Amino acid sequence: MQDVTDLAFMRVIAHYGAPDYFFTEFFRVHSQSRPEKHIVRSIAENTTGRPVFAQLIGEDIHHLNRTVKELLALPVAGIDLNLGCPAPKVYKKNVGGGLLRDPARIDEILGALRAAVPGLLTVKMRLGFEDTAHFDRILELVDRHKVDLLSVHGRTVKEMYRSEVRYECIAHAVTRVRCPVLANGNITSAAKAASVLASTGAAGVMIGRHAIRNPWIFHQCRELLGGGTVTRITLADVRGYVEHLFEATRTDTIPERAHVNKMKKYLNFVGQGVDADGAFLHDMRRTATRAELFAVCDRHLMTAPDREFAVEPYPGVIARPNCETPDGSDGCSLETVTA
């Protein structure tokens, strides 16, 4: 998830139950680009015990190849091409989800990347840009260029995160490509993951923003898919998670108020499971200091610490992330758990 899945966040998620593997934030690739140092750290200093794929966003083949060469010198699990980001500032540059308008260009890029990547090459895509007219053509290219893993978000770029996820289109992709397919979009809980796996036949699920809300979700998926009982999470558990996340993402170079504002990006999602009327979100968004933030957490999370944290987001409690894509996340860079 762009501006989320950094090294600190990956370590926090791994503490509560790591996914099978991570995808980095995307490396922006263009003529003046160099692999961003903070994203490189999430690969080079990875202590989660899970593999990390380096995610690229770009369309210049020369510079994609240059960047791939640099990244393959790091301990990456593979290279991932983003064809899914729906942020207007991204697709207007004809990268991310914008490339779904141009299958011929995708053909060229995948051909070049396949030649440059001796190991695993993966792709994340949406169903199309405005419609699904090119969906089958792009699936054919995924097969032709021997992509090793395909993640499909079941909406178009223009649908952003507003529409229902079309899991039947993900099921169609499963039947059309030879590589494993991961289902992406609104994987809100372990029960939802199991339902989506059953209906799509996908090899696994890719989870983004709901891992911010519930970092136990990967562990819970394994419990349910393994025939066990899903761990119950309490508001006291959530209070511990918030403090862990605050300390893990804090640095001496970030002023207190700036860090509190950064925390709001995460808590916008956490708050969807705290209370049905959005009171936690209302109060949290008005804090400016650490003391104010944790006073709100104590008031809402520790008054009834044994109360269960909602398994699914409360209907109508809306996250307002500080980014153009509510996933910064579901669309741009995610974590996965396989069946």
At what angle are helices 167-176 and 135-144 packed, to 10 degrees? 40
Phi-psi region of 17 (alpha: psi -120 to 50; beta: other; left: phi over 0): left
CA distance 249 to 263: 9
Give the C-alpha separation, 80 to 202, whole Å. 18
Distance from C-alpha of 305 to C-alpha of 59, rounded to nearest angstrom: 49
Alpha-carbon torsion, ordered 91, 96, 101, 103, to 10 deg: 160
Contact between 68 and 62 under an 8 Å Cβ cutoff? The reply is no
3-state secondary structure of 234: strand
Instruction: Judge whether 243 and 294 are in contact, CB under 8 Å.
Output: yes
Q: Do 91 and 85 touch, CB atoms closer than 8 A?
A: yes
Would you call 221 a catalytic residue per the annotation?
Answer: no
Contact (CB, 8 A) for 260 and 290: yes
Buried b or exposed e, range 229-244, using 16+ CB within 10 angstroms: ebeebebebbbebbee
DSSP run (H or E) holding 193: helix 190-200
Q: Give the Cα separation of 181 and 339 in Å (integer).
A: 11
Catalytic residue among 85, 169, 221, 297: 85
Scan for tokens 């119950």, then name that residue: 232
List, by residue number, the catalytic residues.
85
